[in-house]
């Protein structure tokens, strides 16, 4: 599903740039936000087909972002959580959120791209 729009929400600017390059090379359109609040704003303004979300962020962390997302956006896009904090304990917290996949950092480009492709092909849960 090339041409799909991916929103990267991560406070690590360099990583954002790196992921954005990876996704653009694969034909995706990419927008970037560096905290949860900014991510929600961009999503509301520009929309996205998929969100690649970090968990540890200032202002609004990933968990809060996931909790608020369905409240702010009527049909939220799928979310791939990419975080070094994606531990089994965190998985339990994430269990209730509507997420497509969890990718633990370090992110392997091929795996991430495959996961993104897979997530974009799945129909949204609404």
Partner 1 sequence: MAVAPSKILDAVKGDRDARWAFLIALGIAAIVALLNYASFLTASDGLLLDAGNRASEPTAPKVVVVDPGTQDPAGNFELLERLAETARNLGAVRIGLYSANAPGALPESPSVPLTFGLAELGRVPSADDRIDYAAARIAAADHGISRRQTPSFASANGAIPSFETALAGRLAAKDYFVRMPREQNIPVVSLAQVLANDFHADDFEGMVMIVAPGRDLTEAHLSTPLSKDGARTPASLFSAYAVQSLLDRSEIYAATPWTAFAAILALTLAVAAAMTAFEPKRALAPVLFLGVLSALLAAYLALSFANLLLPITAMIVAIIMAAVGLLLFSEVRQDRRLAAILERAIAMAFGNSPYDAQTEPGRHLTEAAERIGLHHSLVLSVPHSGPASVLGAFRADQDDMPSERTLRLIAADRKDSATSIERPTDWNGEVHSALLSSDDPALVWLYSAPAEGKAPHPAEHAHNIAAAIRQTHEWRNDLSTGARRARRKRPIDAQLASAASLITARSDRIAAGLDGLETAAMIFHLGGFPVHANAQMEALARQAGLTPHGTNLLKTLTALSDFSADHLSELLSAIIRDGVEIRIPAKDFGGLQRILRVAPMLKGTHDIIILEAVDITEQNRLAQQRSAVGNFVDKQLRNDLEVIELGAEIGQASAGEGSHVKEIFFNLSETVQRAIGRLEEVADFLNDTGTSAANVCYPLDARKVVDEALEKVAPFAAEFDVSIETALPGISGFTMAEPKSLLATCEAMLRIVIADTPHGGRVKARLTEELDGTVIEVSGGFGIPFERLMAALDSRSEEVPEEYRALASGFKDVARWQGLSSYWSAVGQGLRFNVKMRRIG
What is residue 111's DSSP assignment? H
- CB of residue 12 to partner 1, shortest distance in Å: 6
Question: In this complex, which beta carbon is closest to partner 1, that of residue 114 or of residue 122?
Answer: 114
Q: Among 40, 51, 55, 102, which residue sits at the site for partner 1 (rule: CB under 8 A)?
A: 55
**According to CB under 8 A, which one of 70, 73, 90, 118 is a site residue for partner 1?**
90
Between CA 117 and CA 33, with CA 81 as vertex, the angle to 5 degrees is 95
Q: At closest approach, how far in Å is the CB of 115 from partner 1?
A: 14
Q: Residue 4's closest CA among 35, 65, 62, 47?
A: 47
Distance (Å, whole) CA 103 – CA 81: 6
Residue list 56-85, contact with partner 1 (CB under 8 A): 56-64, 67, 84-85
List the 50-53 sheet strands across, edge first: 29-33, 5-9, 50-53, 78-83, 101-104
- Say whether residue 106 binds partner 1 (CB under 8 A): yes
Beta bridge partners of 5: 29
Task: List contacts with partner 1 (CB under 8 A).
Answer: 11-12, 14-15, 17-19, 21-22, 24-25, 34-35, 55-64, 67, 84-85, 90, 93, 105-110
């Amino acid at each position: 599903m090339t041409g799909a729009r991916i929103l990267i929400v991560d406070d690590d600017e360099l990583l954002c740039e790196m992921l954005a390059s990876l996704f653009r090379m694969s034909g995706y359109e990419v927008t970037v936000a560096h905290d949860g609040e900014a991510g929600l704003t961009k999503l509301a303004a520009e929309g996205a087909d998929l969100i690649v979300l970090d968990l540890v962020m200032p202002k609004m962390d990933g968990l809060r972002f996931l909790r608020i997302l369905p409240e702010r956006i009527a049909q939220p896009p799928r979310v791939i959580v990419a975080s070094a904090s994606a531990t089994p304990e965190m998985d339990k917290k994430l269990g209730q959120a509507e997420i497509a996949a969890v990718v633990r950092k370090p992110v392997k480009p091929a795996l991430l791209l495959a996961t993104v492709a897979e997530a974009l092909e799945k129909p949204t849960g609404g």
